[in-house]
A and B are shown apart, each in its own frame.
Chain A
Amino acid sequence: MERRAFLKIAGGVAAGLGLTGIVTVKPARATPAEMQEAIRAVVGSARITPGKVKLELPPLIENGNAVPLTVTVDSPMTEAEHVRVVHVFTEKNPQPYVVSFHLGPRAGRARVSTRMRLADSQNVVAVCQLSDGSLWSDSAAVVVTLAACLEDGI
C-alpha cells in the first residue's frame, strides 16, 4: 500500500475513534468552592457558626462505598427549641449533596446515623438549622483507601 494512502486511512480511522483529540472519560468532581455554593443554595446567606452539631465519621475507612456517619446536635428538642434540619455535604464527591434529615420536637433526640459514599479522602460538612433559624456546622476529615463512585459498573 502506498504510504500516503495508508496514513490517510489511519487518520480517518483515528478521527472516527475520536483519537485525534484527547478524550477523557471521568466524572466531574466537586471542589470545596462548589460545596460552599451548594451549602449556600440550601441554607441561604445567613451566618453559619461552627458548633452545636457534631459529625462523627471514622478517620479511615477501607472502602468508600459505605462509610458510617452519625450527626448529633446539642438541643433540648422541645417545641420552643429544637433542630429543624441537618444537611450533609462533601468536598470532592462528583456532586456535593449527601442527605438532609428533617427532625422536629417529636424526635426526642437530635441524633441520626446512616452510611454514605466517599469518592476520595476529603472533608465532610454538616450544617444544621435550629428552630430559631440559626445555622451551625461541623466538619470531619476521612481517609478513604478505596474510593466509591469512580469504579465502573460491569
Chain B
Amino acid sequence: MRRLLIALGLLALAASAFAGEIALSDRRSGYELMGRELRAMQDDDTANPGMLWVLEGAALWKRPTGAASRACVDCHGEAAVSMKGVAAHHPAFDAAKQRPVSLDQRINNCRVDRQQAPPLAYESRELLALGAYVARQSRGLPIAVTIDDRMRPFLDAGHAIYERRQGQLNLACSQCHDDNWGRQLAGNLIPQAHPTGYPLYRLEWQSLGSLQRRLRGCLTGIRAEAYDYGAPELVDLELYLMWRARGMTMDAPAVRP
C-alpha cells in the first residue's frame, strides 16, 4: 500500500504541472484574446507588418557575409526545409555553452563560428529579420522544447523567476498571467503570456520586437531591474514560458496590441 502511494505520488509529480498553473486545456494564446481586426491583420501575409522583416530575413539568408564569405543558404539550403520546426524547439541545449540558448543566440553563434562575422546586436534590424524569417518557418507547428536532465535545472531556474515577486511593485509574473489573465489592467487585457508569436509586431512599439524586449518591458513595468539582453535569466525564463506553452501553435510573426 505504501509503495503504491509512493508510486502514485511520483507519478503525480512526474506528470503534474507546477501548482497554480493554467490547466493545459484552458490555455489561450494572445491571438485568441485579440479583436477581429487585429487577427485579420496577422492572418494576411500581404497586410502583416511583420512580413517586412520576414522578407528582409529571406534576403539576408542568401547574402554571403563574414571572413568566410558564407551565406546561411550555403550550409542550410532552403530555409523552408531546414528551418522547419527550429523556432518551435528553441531555447535548445548548446553543447559548447553547456546551457540552453535562444534562437537569436543560436543565429549569432552561427555567425561567429561558421561565417566568421561579428555577432548581430540584440534587437538590431538584421537579427530581428533573420529571427522573423526562421520563426516564420515554424508557423502552424506545435511548440516542442526538449526537457531532459541537462535542461531541467534551467527550466527550474526559469520557473523560479516566473514565480518570484520582483521590483517595487513586488509582483510575480504568475500573479498577472496565471491568476488574473483575461482581466483588465489599466484598460488592457492581461494575456496568459504564451510566446507563440515571437518575434512579433507590437502596435505599441510600432515595430517588430523580440520576446526579450517584451520581458524587459514587463520587468520595467513592475519597477524591477530588467535583465540585460542575452542574460541567462531571460533565456531561462523563455525556456520556462515555451515549456509552459508546449503543444500550442506557433504563429510568428504575430501582431499584438
Decide whether A and B assemble into one complex.
Answer: yes
Whether A65 and B203, one on each chain, are in contact in the complex, defined by CB atoms closer than 8 angstroms, is: yes
Q: Which of A62, A65, A151 makes the CB contact (< 8 A) with B35? A: A62
- Residue ID in chain B nearest A58 by CB atoms: B37
Q: Is B98 an interface residue (CB 8 A)?
A: no
- Residue ID in chain A nearest B41 by CB atoms: A68
Q: Is A140 an interface residue (CB 8 A)?
A: no
Whether A63 and B257, one on each chain, are in contact in the complex, defined by CB atoms closer than 8 angstroms, is: yes
Interface residues of B, count at CB 8 A: 15
What secondary structure prevails in chain A residues at the interface with B?
strand
The 5 closest A-B pairs by CB, nearest first: A62-B257, A63-B203, A63-B257, A65-B203, A58-B37
Contact with A along B198-237 (1 / 0, CB 8 A): 0000011010000000000000000000000000000000
Whether A145 and B187, one on each chain, are in contact in the complex, defined by CB atoms closer than 8 angstroms, is: yes
Interface residues of A, count at CB 8 A: 13
Q: Is A43 an interface residue (CB 8 A)?
A: no
Given A115-B41, A151-B204, 7 other A-B residues pairs in contact with their CB atoms under 8 A? A58-B36, A63-B203, A65-B203, A66-B203, A66-B206, A67-B37, A145-B187
A145 to B49, CA, bound (A): 21
Q: Is A60 an interface residue (CB 8 A)?
A: yes
Q: Is B40 an interface residue (CB 8 A)?
A: yes
Whether B34 and A62, one on each chain, are in contact in the complex, defined by CB atoms closer than 8 angstroms, is: yes
A104 to B23, CA, bound (A): 56
A144 to B143, CA, bound (A): 33
Q: Is A61 an interface residue (CB 8 A)?
A: yes
Please give the distance in Å from A36's CB to the nearest CB on chain B: 28
A60 to B34, CA, bound (A): 11
Whether A146 and B204, one on each chain, are in contact in the complex, defined by CB atoms closer than 8 angstroms, is: yes
- Residue ID in chain A nearest B202 by CB atoms: A63
Q: Is B189 an interface residue (CB 8 A)?
A: yes
Whether A65 and B204, one on each chain, are in contact in the complex, defined by CB atoms closer than 8 angstroms, is: yes
Please give the distance in Å from B129's CB to the nearest CB on chain A: 20
Which chain A positions have C-beta within 8 A of B203? 62-63, 65-66
- Residue ID in chain B nearest A64 by CB atoms: B203
Q: Which of A63, A68, A115 makes the CB contact (< 8 A) with B204? A: A63
Residue numbers of B with Cβ under 8 A of A are 34-38, 40-41, 49, 187-189, 203-204, 206, 257
Which chain A positions have C-beta within 8 A of B187? 145-146
A77 to B38, CA, bound (A): 31
Whether B188 and A66, one on each chain, are in contact in the complex, defined by CB atoms closer than 8 angstroms, is: no
A63 to B206, CA, bound (A): 10
Whether B188 and A68, one on each chain, are in contact in the complex, defined by CB atoms closer than 8 angstroms, is: no
- Residue ID in chain B nearest A62 by CB atoms: B257
Contact with B along A133-154 (1 / 0, CB 8 A): 0000000000001100001000
A60 to B188, CA, bound (A): 12
A63 to B37, CA, bound (A): 11
Which chain A positions have C-beta within 8 A of B40? 68
Please give the distance in Å from B96's CB to the nearest CB on chain A: 35
Residue of B41, B203, B257 contacting most chain A CB atoms (<10 Å)? B203
Please give the distance in Å from A29's CB to the nearest CB on chain B: 19
Which chain A positions have C-beta within 8 A of B38? 61-62
Please give the distance in Å from B113's CB to the nearest CB on chain A: 33
A62 to B35, CA, bound (A): 8
- Residue ID in chain B nearest A57 by CB atoms: B37
A64 to B124, CA, bound (A): 25
Give 11 pairs: A residue, B residue, CB < 8 Å, sorted on A. Answer: A58-B37, A61-B35, A62-B34, A62-B38, A62-B257, A65-B206, A67-B37, A68-B37, A145-B188, A146-B187, A146-B204
Please give the distance in Å from B45's CB to the nearest CB on chain A: 16
